[in-house]
Amino acid sequence: SSSLEVAAPSLAGFTGVALLLFWEQLWKRVIVTGASTGIGEQMAYHLARMGSHILVTARTEAKLQKVNGKLSTHTCTCIPAISYSTLMPAPLISGGLDMLILNHIGKSYFSYFDGDVGHVQKLLQINFLSYVAMTVSALPMLKESEGSIVVVSSMAGKVGFPLTVPYSATKFALDGFFSSLRQEFSMQSVNVSITLCVLGFINTGKISPKEECALEIIKGGALRQREVYYRYASTKIPLLIRDWAADFLDYLIRKCYNTENLKKN
Ligand SMILES: NC(=O)C1=CN([C@@H]2O[C@H](COP(=O)(O)OP(=O)(O)OC[C@H]3O[C@@H](n4cnc5c(N)ncnc54)[C@H](OP(=O)(O)O)[C@@H]3O)[C@@H](O)[C@H]2O)C=CC1
Ligand SMILES: C[C@H](CCC(=O)O)[C@H]1CC[C@H]2[C@@H]3C(=O)C[C@@H]4C[C@H](O)CC[C@]4(C)[C@H]3CC[C@]12C
């Protein structure tokens, strides 16, 4: 398919080649949540090229089947109709597992916070609590394989961006939970890596393409990095400023927004 062809040149770098050589031995069985569209879909294509056995989840069966169609030569299991909106998602993990990539997000809005506490609660369930539940289900297998957990987050989970208050809250929660869990793994000699991915705005154009972003996430997980920044300069530099001049960074961020047509609450 065209998606698979687009992915090939971006594997040319040294880490890409090294990863391909070792992938067969290291990372065979992978779960990608929210893989019917966007970055998750692109991760499924990359993983398939590397010969992984992948299990992909989303709610919409038709979209997942379309992805599956492009992966027909590889081992791909679709788990459609999985909604993480309910309080406890049914555990969908059995057999062995090497890497759990938590990527799905629920729908939110891009506007001033409207005071809807119910929406914050629902989004926390989808974007945060289900990540916790999936991790708990997968942990026995990941401990056995000495595998990896990859958590897809955002700049909005490190810095206070306006207009995404509920979304941002869920992403900050992920950082707290998984950074703390990483410490405990280290103290208990649990050899399961945790990689938090800090992404800026991803688009389909040349600046931050989702195909390249997807590959960076997989590389970071396979190399057991603590955090992945994509793109590096435009995420890492603001974070360095944040630690020394938070008000200045807040000011710079606000300057990027045109709020003329937004309704104030
Ligand atoms: N795109 C961007 O600019 C940025 C993205 N990110 C992060 O990257 C990750 C991927 O983002 P992106 O590719 O844009 O996401 P998309 O909106 O393209 O994909 C979201 C996926 O989650 C699934 N999904 C939505 N709601 C639910 C639900 N209630 N239960 C289960 N699955 C659900 C969707 O499928 P379906 O609707 O069929 O269920 C879809 O497969 C996210 O974690 C996001 O926060 C971070 C920074 C920037
Ligand atoms: C404006 C921010 C980018 C600044 C930068 O270039 O570093 C964006 C960083 C994260 C974005 C949000 C996000 O995490 C995902 C959602 C994805 C949807 O497709 C669009 C709305 C988002 C809430 C998106 C909005 C812009 C960012 C805050």
Residue 263 lies in a domain: no
Least confident of 66-75, 132-141, 214-223: 66-75
Is a pLDDT exceeding 60 seen at residue 8? no
Cβ atoms < 10 Å from Cβ of 250? 16
In a 13 Å sphere around the CA of 9, the CA atoms on its Cβ side amount to 2
Q: How confident is the model at residue 28 (pLDDT cuts 50, 70, 90)?
A: confident
Q: Which of 139, 148, 152, 151 is nearest to 222 (CA)?
A: 148
Beta carbons within 8 Å of 183's beta carbon, 6+ residues apart? none
Is a pLDDT exceeding 70 seen at residue 108? yes
Least confident of 5-9, 88-92, 193-197, 226-230: 5-9
The CA distance from 98 to 51, in Å, is 13
The tokens for 82 are 């999985």
Span 55-85, pLDDT tens digits: 999 999 999 999 989 886 567 888 888 889 8
Burial of 207 (0-12, 13-18, 19+ CB in 10 A): exposed
Cβ atoms < 10 Å from Cβ of 24? 11
Residue 47 near residue 30 (C-beta atoms within 8 A): yes
The residue written with tokens 């020394």 in the block is 244
Report how far apart, in Å, the C-alpha atoms of 71 and of each of 56, 122, 214 are: 11, 32, 16
What pLDDT was estimated at residue 265? 83
3-state SS, one letter per residue, for 174-210: HHHHHHHHHHHHHHCCCCCEEEEEEECCCECCCCCEH
CATH of the domain at 77: 3.40.50.720
Residue 11 near residue 215 (C-beta atoms within 8 A): yes
The rounded Cα 63 to chain-centroid distance in angstroms is 19
Residue located nearest, by CA, to atom 21 of ligand 2: 110
Q: How confident is the model at residue 148 (pLDDT cuts 50, 70, 90)?
A: very high
Residue 265 lies in a domain: no
Residue located nearest, by CA, to atom 27 of ligand 1: 106
Domain count of the fold of the chain: 1
Ligand 2 near 235 CB (within 6 A): yes
Residues with CB under 6 A from ligand 1: 34-40, 58-60, 63, 82-85, 103-106, 126, 152, 154, 199, 201-202
Domain assignment of residue 84, given as a range: 2-255
Distance 109 CA to ligand 2 centre (A): 11
Is a pLDDT exceeding 80 seen at residue 4? no
Q: How confident is the model at residue 206 (pLDDT cuts 50, 70, 90)?
A: confident
Ligand 2 near 155 CB (within 6 A): yes
Percent share of the chain, pLDDT over 70: 88
Least confident of 11-25, 92-106, 156-170: 11-25
Residue 262 lies in a domain: no
Quote the pTM value.
Answer: 0.91
More confident position, 69 or 26 = 69
Residue 240 lies in a domain: yes
Residue 264 lies in a domain: no
